[in-house]
Each structure stands twice: as C-alpha cells, then as structure tokens.
A and B are shown apart, each in its own frame.
Chain A
Amino acid sequence: MRLRRDLALNGLLLISLACLMVLSLTIGPLKLSAQDVLGALFHAGPDNLSPADLASIDRGARLHLIVTEIRLPRVLLGIIVGASLAMSGAALQGLLRNPLAEPGLLGVSASASLGAVLCLYFGLASISVWLLPVSAMLSAAVSTLLLALFARRSSSNLTLILAGIGLSSMAAALISLAINLAPTPTDVQDIVLWLMGSIADRSFDDIQLCLPFALAGFALLLSCGHELDALTLGEEEAQSMGVSLVRLRLKVITGTALCVGASVAVAGAIGFIGLVVPHMLRRATGYQPARLLLASALGGAVLLLAADMVLRLVSQGFELMLGVVTALIGAPFFLLLVLRSEAEVTR
C-alpha cells in the first residue's frame, strides 16, 4: 500500500513535470503550440547547420533548432538544478533531523558560490571548464563538513542554524571582497550576475558539465534513504540498528556537495528550493526521509521549472534572475515556517 502511494505521488509529480516541460518549451519570443514543440522535438534536424543558414531552412527545421538548441537546455538544466537542490535539502533535513536545514540556509550554497567566484576572480575558469564546478563542489563539501562537525558537537538545532548563518556570512564577506577587489567593472558584473542565479542562455555544454556530478550526487543521496529513516530513532538507536553514523554523514555530505556544487556551478546561487520542496511533500510521504528523497527531487524540478516559466512570462524585455525570484518567494515562506514550528526550532 505504501508502494502504491509512492507510485501515485511520484507518478503525479512526473506527469506534471512532463506537462510543464512541454509548456515551458512553448514560451518565448516566438510563441509555439504544444503540437509545434512535440513535432519539433521529434523532427529530424538538419546536420551541421550554421546559424547563418537559419533563414534558408524550412519552418520545421527552424522550430527544431529553436526548441532543442535554445529552449531545451534551459528546461533540462532547470530540472537538474531543481532536483539537485531539493534532494540535498531533503537529505540534509534527514541527517540533521531538522526541518529548517537547507543548503542555502546553512551556507552550503554560499560556500559553493565562493568557490566558483574565486575561480572567476582568478580567471581559473578559462584554464579548464572543469575547474569551476570542481572548486564549487569542494567548497560546498568543506562547508557541509564543518556543519556536520557542529551538528555532532551539539545536538541543539539552534547551534546548527547559527553555525550555518556564520558560514554564509563568512562566504558572503569573502565574495564581497572578491567583488571589491575585482580588476575591471566587467569582472564585477560577471560575478554579480552569476551570483543572482539564472538558467537563461545555457547550452548542452553546461548540462554536460553538471549532469555527471549531479547524477553521482543523486545516487549517493538515494542510497542513504533507509539509514536516514533509522536516524529518526535518534543517533544511538540508529547505531544499534547497524547504521554507521560516520559513513552516513560522509555519504550525505559528499552527495550534497556534488549536487549543490554542480547546480551552483552552472546556475549560480538559487536559494530556498531545498527548504520549500521537502516541506511541502513531507506529509504526503508520511514523514519518512527515505520516501521524501525521490519525491523531493521531482518536486524540486517541477517547482524550479514553474518558477522559471513564470519569470519568463513576467519579464518582457528585461531578464529577471531566477535566484532573485526563488528568494523572493522562499524567504517569506521560511519566516512562516519558523513561526509555525517555533517550538520545534528552539527544541
């Protein structure tokens, strides 16, 4: 029966994701119908076509180019980033047994941003495209490790959240320093725009860059499910059930770092997805951390895609940044959550 409910929930999320994908592909300067999009997706595109030839080709081929080369990468990236952030949020909440844990709130995203900004600042990204995601992931891992150490020293949720605030302030300060010392105004603009978080104007190269890391992160986090369930019992009883806390912490930290690092590397800082999505789905998954993981990933993809779509509909002529929009929606939600679960927060 639990299996059936899981199938129903995840199936529902998957269907809405597919619908949103098609819907999202129809939106843009050139309005397309769903039929156009589906036709274009499965249209055999012309080989080795340069953009200069665009005018000369027939409508079907042109649509194919627009949909697969321009719009599809954005949509796919939205799915990867949304799923990464939401699943790492769900896993962190399970590990720290705290509904307020979130990569953004706990400074993991900020640290990943710092890693990426340093890469941009020193121009390392031009040496190899892999340096940016790797440095983002490494700094995400370091900050998650610090958090886990804090979580171990003190069982109080408050300490942990304060530690997260400390970490994000530290990362923010260093990022400001990098902006402050940036050699040219263009560098400043690069860094600032990148920090706001966006999945606009991305290509399949970006997807290639983040997908392997994100997939590795997904696999690692999904493998923690049952152990996270057992952690509901408390650390001692979980250990008595055969859970190795050291290994579980290591797995969640590595998985979170991979996921957050990969998504920050291609999309910049996008906050609150990891907080909002697991919270909305927790009741539907019976408050079981293992069941929450997959559902959160799907839900995160749906939410990010929806946010990106709304943003594209709203912003005509100017480009709203996705990270700004999610923060605008997420921050009030977080305050509401704090108010509602005040007892839990200070427990």
Chain B
Amino acid sequence: MSRLDIRHVSVKRGDRHLVNDISLRISGGTLFGLIGPNGAGKSSLLRAVAQLLPHTGQCHLGAQLLEQASAHWRAKRLGYLAQSGELAWPMAVRDFVGLGRMPHKRSGWWLTRRPGMRDVKACPVPEHDDEAVNLALAQTGLSSLAQRPLNQLSGGEQARVRLARALAVSADVLLADEPCASLDPFHQLSVMELLLSQSRQGKVVVVVLHDLTLASRFCDQLLLLHEGAAVATGEPRQVLTPDNLQRVYQLQAIHGEFRDQPYIVPWQSSHADSTGGHPVNQSINEPINKSGVCLQEEIPVQ
C-alpha cells in the first residue's frame, strides 16, 4: 500500500510563506482533506506535493523521494486535478479523458518516446487504456456523454470530465484541488463518494475542500491551514471545533448530527455578533427556536 510522506514542506513567494513547514503522513486508504480560508495555502501545498511549485522540504511516495523522481515516474503515480482548467479545444469527452492515459503510453510515434520510458515494466501494468477510460467515464456518470464535444457540456459536466481525466491516470495518489467547486449538491455528494471509494481501494486521496460539511462527513483526516501554517490536523471532529472555526474563519457555525453523520452549517461571521446577532455557538448545546433555525430534533426523518 502506498504512503505519502510530506516532511517540512514550505513554499515561499518573495518573503512571504505561502506554505510554512507542513509535515504530514498519509497512508493509502485515507481520504485526506485540506481546508482553510482563501489564501491559506491549500492549493500551494497540493501543487508542491505534485512537484509543480518550487518548494523546500521533501515528499516521499513509498520509498521514492518525489523531488528526485523523473517527471514520467511521477506522472504515472500522481494524478493531479487543477482547481480550474480552461478547456482549450472542444474535443470529444472520451478523447479528453483518454489524455489521462498519456503517462502509460509505451510508444506510438517514434519521436515521442521520452527518457524514462524504460521503467514502464517496474510499475504494475495498468489495465488496458480503453478499460481505464471506460471505468473513469462510468465512475463519473459520463458514459452517455462520451462522444459529445466538451463545449456542449455544462460547467458541472466539464468539471466531472476533468475529474474523470484525473481518474483515468489510475495513479496511486490522487491530488484534487476543489473538485466540488462548480458542482450542484447532488454531484458534490457523488464526487465525494467517488473519492471515498477511490481511497478505499488503497489509494492516497488528498482533496482541497471549502464545504465544511463535506469535509467532516467524508474525510478520514483533515488539515486546517491558516496563512500557510497548520492550525490543526487529525480527525474531522478534532479539527473542526468551534474554537478553530472561530479562529481561522472568524465564523460561528451550527454543528450537528443527522443519522450519525456530522454536519456543519456556517451561520454567521463574528462581525455580525458585535452588531447584535444571535450567539450561534450556543446552538450546539441549546436549541434556539426563536430564530427559526431548523434544529436536529426537528429535521423530518423519513
């Protein structure tokens, strides 16, 4: 089983630390969430791990130091999904997803044979390209759209196509930067369920999230970042405490459970508090019916 070992990773831009000395150990089978306010360094950390940003510190995948691995070695083992990608050409969905198989192509046009191709045998031979693409399409619910050009899809469908492309790599590690950003609630849930099932297959899945409920419900482990530094790390309920949310987001939230699944609803900023808002933090313990907030006792259970 693969294991991602991040040691003292820092990213500097100018004299400002975007990511400040982060160390993490993520073993396969874990769905790991990166959360934090805008500009906290979530994406930078993810890019540093994917070796797309210059950084200090080391990342190991298994025994291999990623900084020293060839780009081709990494390409087969690290799937990276960027935050937002403009799709340059309206190619067919299937062709686009098929681009994810590029690191596994052994030959093709003789001139495209790149250095580093020789280690193909060292890596467990992936399924047939077509199978991997079909699987990725099926997992993201895009099988019926496979022949459609990308520009005929909605924004949410395009986001799923990009996720399918990353899945088609069939890498040991999947690094996804806000895969739920432009999705409707239904597809947010299905994407998170998909990422969870990917992690349960033994992969390391690291995902940047803004939705605290999705983070607390699906992720096994969370890292809460604030101004590049780690505020808290561990299981969701240890990380997403009212104190931490107040400190990092200046936010008061309603915490609760529904059918044994946690939910967190951000309720108001602490600025509103000083101008006479309700002290929502108390709602964790005592119901506040006067505000009309739907409480856990009142949620209709079918």
Contacts and interface: CB of A to CB of B under 8 A. Distances in A.
Given A240-B79, A244-B71, A288 B111 contact: no
A241 B85 CA distance: 14
A288 B82 contact: no
Given A240-B50, A241-B75, A242-B102, A226 B109 contact: yes
A207 B74 CA distance: 45
A236 B102 contact: no
B111 A237 contact: no
A237 B112 contact: no
Interface in B70-91: 71-72, 74-76, 78-82, 85-91
Interface of B: 47, 50, 52, 71-72, 74-76, 78-82, 85-92, 95-96, 99-100, 102-103, 105, 108-109, 111-112, 114, 116, 149, 162, 165-166, 169
A103 B166 CA distance: 33
B80 A237 contact: yes
A233 B164 CA distance: 12
B99 A230 contact: yes
Nearest to B74: A242
A294 to B, nearest CB: 10
18 contacts: A97-B88, A226-B102, A229-B102, A231-B88, A232-B87, A233-B85, A234-B85, A237-B82, A237-B85, A237-B166, A239-B71, A240-B52, A241-B99, A241-B100, A242-B74, A242-B102, A243-B71, A286-B95
Contact of A241 (B90, B102, B108, B112): B102
Contacts of B99: 229-230, 232-233, 241
B126 to A, nearest CB: 14
Nearest to A293: B109
Interface of A: 97-98, 219, 222-223, 225-227, 229-234, 236-237, 239-244, 282, 286-289, 347
A236 B82 contact: yes
**Residue from B50, B81, B99 with most neighbouring chain A CB atoms (10 Å):** B99
Nearest to B47: A236
Identify the 7 closest CB pairs spanning chains A and B, nearest first: A242-B75, A223-B111, A240-B80, A97-B88, A234-B85, A287-B89, A287-B91
A288 B91 contact: yes
A347 B149 contact: no
Contact of B112 (A98, A226, A232, A286): A226
A222 B111 contact: yes
Contacts, number: 90
A280 B79 CA distance: 34
Contact of B75 (A97, A229, A240): A240
A236 B162 CA distance: 13
Contacts of A286: 91-92, 95
A264 B118 CA distance: 40
A170 B295 CA distance: 69
Given A240-B80, A286-B92, A287-B92, 18 more contacts: A97-B89, A223-B109, A223-B112, A226-B102, A226-B108, A232-B87, A232-B96, A236-B85, A240-B52, A240-B74, A240-B78, A240-B79, A241-B102, A241-B169, A242-B75, A242-B102, A242-B114, A287-B89
A227 B105 CA distance: 12
B183 to A, nearest CB: 18
Contacts of B88: 97-98, 231-232, 234
A232 B162 CA distance: 11
Nearest to B78: A240
**Residue from A98, A222, A236, A240 with most neighbouring chain B CB atoms (10 Å):** A240
B109 A242 contact: no
B85 to A, nearest CB: 4
Contacts of B103: 241-242
A254 to B, nearest CB: 14
A287 B86 contact: no
Contacts of B105: 226
Given A241-B102, A287-B149, A236 B89 contact: no
Given A287-B90, A287-B149, A288-B89, A233 B165 contact: yes
A282 B82 CA distance: 26
A243 B100 CA distance: 12
A343 to B, nearest CB: 10
Nearest to A231: B88
Contacts of B114: 242
Contacts of B109: 222-223, 225-226
Nearest to A226: B112
B111 A219 contact: yes
**Residue from B82, B92, B162 with most neighbouring chain A CB atoms (10 Å):** B82
A222 B111 CA distance: 8
Contacts of A234: 82, 85-86, 88
A223 B105 CA distance: 15
